[in-house]
A and B are shown apart, each in its own frame.
Chain A
């Protein structure tokens, strides 16, 4: 019997392509997701956590107070070899070859080699003041001399020079961002005005156990406001803080992976059902010559198991390959950096098990059906399956039993932001929808067929033909429906994820780039206009700055803005409203400091002692913000100081920022440039990669559908040979015969595509709402164009699938009708 199974597999290899591809996609998807998630964690750990992984123990303050006090205590703990007090500051730096000053984040380098974590691309780490290692972004080479400007406590400008001794490769550290980084000795950081050390990194003596050392240190520091963690723990903690976004994505992808698996199961079940239906006579013949029902079932299941194992193995490979591809495309310059691939063993084993099991389970029902084939079936023609079978009713009941609670769980999960609940509900309800689709599709196809009656006799005939074998039509359409639903859900989900993330970023960082003069004389009035002409800069707004006295009696730095000019620059005014005449936008600290409230009033006093009352609007700003005119009325000496810039969405952010730095620097040597433009661009890139994967998925889903639709039509052509002959005899031309099958395919594919898009849009929007709902406000975005493209592609794919069967049908001679 096993020999029969094997030869059966060989003979039907082409037909098995559909189920094999289905398993490969599903397993590949799951494995790729798990692999990418692991790779992200590893890359993050390496990039962000590098400084912690090198230490056995890390001590951080719970209050934000400097921790230099505890450092001495730690040094005395037995088993501690060295401690490093990490200090940091920021400076303006002038690099040779660049006209503008850069804003550099400065960190101290540990004295003990065991605690030095920086990866050097070139040169060495600094050992003494006057030396610095810089990140690649700074654009300096070993041997360059950098001029650094710092401000002392009293605001006096100081200048110093350091020699670059090394270049540091920061890998995928997302904290690197737009700013350059410099690493100098602890003494140099102190000289530049260190911000108190916020953490102590501890190296143990050779062979110490990190956990044990952490416990010892914890005991020694008992009662102080510090957290003691092992280096590993701290690294994971830091990485998790930064991978929050990545984890949401992983979660979403896994949700879709689960759905993909369910889908694959259904596609496989359908393929096996069609396959066995085509082989009814063959199976019956086997029964006739003495095979028992049990032998038949075992043969079918063995076929499924072999297919499952082979396809799953392929899927694991494809998944890892896909992950590597994505990793290579995304690279490390992204908020979700990826370096190489880290393949977790669980992904490989899980993928294999899940794929094989899904195939086996999916084949169970068709296998049972196969055992019910009567030996006599070998001797009589196939009769079409009736619509109202017991299985059909069972399916209706089971479908409703799954959809109703599934939808309820999904609604509850979305409302309560319980991701797991809505995911479970989504999976459950989708399973139900698929079961219901088996019943719903034939009537919908029939109704649509009646609608297209105006398309002529062929359309009318096709409508009838499409619903002649409701079970088969339903199976074919469901396979396509599942693929389309999944793809649409992904596309809609990705669009909304992007919109939500962008809205969040826009509200939080309404300006792309900020250029500050850092000089009391003000910046040239021409600077905003000059910056606006840079390729890639969409709009610029100049702000003036002056001194205004608040209700507390202290004069403070206050900015003036022209709201009409600034409006097109800001990406969002959600968190930072623009002032109008008579309104002051105040920082949040003024609620406590000045006792003001949003919408209330505040009295501001000008240079000449004249007081004016303003309406208060609170916003995310460092300094009070007035209109330029209001600021001038209070402080006639206010000077142009700051430029807000908005960049073009498609521009190469790093290049534009470099040019802005150079232009600003050539006009105002002290000018500094900061901003978050790069974050936005990087996020777009991630979503684009995601969409690329989705497009790939669509491609494969379409391929499966193509095979499925083609399979079914080919079967119909064989079955309807006589009928097609009759039509030819009665006057249907060859072209019309082809049209008949094309209509039939389009009808089935079109209905599946439209239903799938509707379902997918629903699931996509609900999925986004429930996954992102917990993270804040969700912006739903519906990519009409892409969704329309899905309908068209899926329908056209169906049409294409009809080409080969249609050609075969058109070749049937009219006399075939009479060869009855």
Chain B
């Protein structure tokens, strides 16, 4: 689900964007002087609402850095990031934090869950932090879709890796955020569990119009996406629409990965 699109537009204002998130002239430099690393060296990119986009590229190409900057986890050195109409690069830390818990969902590669909370508590954590009550019907729907109904009282340590990632996905989907960011969500999973998680992400896009941006280095994972954005040396290096594992693989070979 995306935020409602305004029906009327005000004359003179730029037309309402249909992009869930976009970045212009994004740079991120680590260190300074001779040892400076330009993890992002000027990236212009946009992610459409209701689409499943994969970010791919060789190791060290800046995929994670791009995602962190898009998700308001890290402050870029230069450029702008917009979530809908909100310019993230202008927000203070507390505003960013609130925006993250209200409008963004996260699925990380590992260490996704708080060990002291059970599955249910982990799922509702961001909404609780925001002081919101999850819609019970939606909660039931998400939990049922992810097959977690009889695992809600379990602590993370009592769940398998695949179950843990599904809990993380449920958490990301529960608040119907503007965007779900996933950083190599299947990196630590066996192929079957990984396929399940990817299926869930794709069906959430198909069935509820959820916007998902996923970083991965696995071509077969990228094949679940509607579009692939390729990154190399901190710059955009191409796009693939309706990717398959083969087209992605050959594109990556072209980048020398």
Contacts and interface: CB of A to CB of B under 8 A. Distances in A.
Contact of B93 (A461, A722, A734): A734
A723 B111 contact: yes
B101 interface: yes
Classify chain B: how many residues form its interface, as a range.
20 to 34
Contacts of B101: 730-732
Interface stretch (A146-154, A386-394, A795-803, A809-817): A809-817
Contacts of A460: 117, 121
A716 to B, nearest CB: 12
A457 B125 contact: yes
Nearest to B121: A460
Nearest to B72: A814
B76 to A, nearest CB: 12
A457 B68 CA distance: 25
B129 A815 contact: no
Given A460-B121, A723-B111, A732 B116 contact: no
B64 interface: yes
Contacts of A731: 97-98, 100-102, 126, 129-130
A306 to B, nearest CB: 39
Interface string A689-705: 00000000000000000
A605 interface: no
Nearest to B101: A731
B74 A723 contact: no
A468 B97 contact: no
A519 B101 CA distance: 93
Interface in A724-756: 726-736
Interface string A467-482: 0100000000000000
Interface string B86-107: 0000000110011011100010
Contacts of B102: 731
B116 A468 contact: yes
Among A722, A731, A734, the one with the most B-chain Cβ atoms within 10 Å of its Cβ is A731
A817 B130 CA distance: 20
Nearest to A457: B128
B73 interface: yes
Contacts of A457: 125, 128-129
Contact of A818 (B114, B130, B183): B183
Contact of A464 (B98, B111, B116): B116
B114 A817 contact: no
Contact of B74 (A726, A732, A734, A813): A813
A461 B106 contact: no
A817 B100 CA distance: 14
Contact of B97 (A464, A733, A818, A820): A733
Interface in A314-336: none
B98 A733 contact: yes
Contact of A736 (B64, B110, B115, B129): B129
A460 B116 CA distance: 9
A465 interface: yes
A486 B256 CA distance: 71
Contact of A733 (B71, B94, B128, B183): B94
B100 A730 contact: yes
A728 B71 CA distance: 12
B97 A815 contact: no
B116 A461 contact: yes
B108 interface: yes
A814 B125 CA distance: 16
A457 B102 CA distance: 16
A814 B73 CA distance: 6
A734 B74 CA distance: 15
B116 A815 contact: no
Interface in B49-75: 64, 68, 71, 73-74
B207 to A, nearest CB: 24
Nearest to A466: B116
Nearest to B171: A730
A815 B73 contact: yes
A450 to B, nearest CB: 12
A723 B114 contact: yes
A20 to B, nearest CB: 34
A817 B115 contact: no
B109 interface: yes
Nearest to B188: A820
B108 A465 contact: no
A269 B237 CA distance: 61
Contacts of A727: 114
Interface residues of A, number: 26
A728 B68 contact: no
Contact of B111 (A728, A732, A733, A820): A820
Among B98, B102, B112, B183, the one with the most A-chain Cβ atoms within 10 Å of its Cβ is B112
A817 B74 CA distance: 12
Contacts of A734: 93-94, 97
Contact of A820 (B94, B109, B171): B109
B115 A730 contact: no
A705 B105 CA distance: 41
B129 A730 contact: yes
Nearest to A814: B73
Contacts of A456: 128
Given A732-B129, A734-B93, A722 B111 contact: yes
Contacts of A736: 129
B126 A817 contact: no
B115 A723 contact: yes
A731 B106 CA distance: 11
Interface in A623-677: none
Contacts of A722: 111
Contacts of B114: 461, 464, 723, 726-727
Contacts of B112: 726
Contacts of B64: 818
A730 B110 contact: no
A729 B100 contact: yes
B97 A728 contact: yes
Given A461-B116, A464-B117, A730-B100, A820 B129 contact: no
Given A731-B98, A731-B101, A731-B102, A818 B109 contact: yes
B99 to A, nearest CB: 9
A732 B125 CA distance: 10
Nearest to B65: A815
A730 B117 CA distance: 14
Contacts of A464: 114, 116-117
B96 to A, nearest CB: 9
A723 B117 CA distance: 12
Contact of B108 (A468, A726, A733, A813): A726
Nearest to A819: B64
Nearest to A467: B116
A453 to B, nearest CB: 10
Contacts of B111: 722-723, 726, 817, 820
Contact of B68 (A461, A733, A815): A815
A460 B73 CA distance: 25
Contacts of B129: 457, 730-732, 736
A683 to B, nearest CB: 54
A444 B111 CA distance: 29
A730 B167 CA distance: 14
B73 A461 contact: no
Nearest to B102: A731
A460 B100 CA distance: 21
A820 B188 CA distance: 12
Contacts of A735: 94
B22 to A, nearest CB: 21
Contacts of A815: 68, 73-74
13 contacts: A457-B125, A457-B128, A468-B115, A722-B111, A728-B97, A730-B125, A730-B129, A731-B100, A732-B97, A733-B98, A734-B94, A815-B74, A820-B108
Given A730-B171, A732-B97, 11 more contacts: A457-B129, A464-B116, A729-B106, A730-B129, A733-B93, A734-B93, A734-B97, A813-B73, A814-B74, A815-B73, A815-B74
**Top 5 closest pairs, chain A to chain B, by CB:** A731-B101, A464-B116, A814-B73, A731-B129, A457-B128
